[in-house]
Amino acid sequence: KYHLKKSIYDPNKPQRPTPINFGDALTADHKILSERNENRHKHTTALIVQDQATKFINAYPAKTNNEQETTLALQHFLQVYL
């Protein structure tokens, strides 16, 4: 059985400010693909990045989901679109 932690709203806990401008808050996650789904460059992962203010979304293919590739993708996302 799975036990899910219930989210409890706490009015005394400081809330995050609502993002207004592009780059104020990002959401990112990796998508891991099987080797069968790799592209011609042998990329088997993708970093999906979404800006919370504009809801703009982009994906960055990569061979691995290591720190270096993730950092480069996030830097590209912010440099190109800011």
Quick one: which of 74, 23, 22, 25 has its CA closest to 47? 74
Look at residue 2 in the predicted model and tell me its pLDDT: 60
Q: Tokens 């080797």 — which residue?
A: 35
Tens-of-pLDDT digits for all 82 residues of the chain? 566 666 677 778 788 889 999 999 999 999 887 766 666 667 788 899 999 999 999 999 888 889 999 999 999 999 977 6
Q: Which helix (H) or strand (E) holds 62?
A: strand 57-62
Give pTM, 2 decimals. 0.73
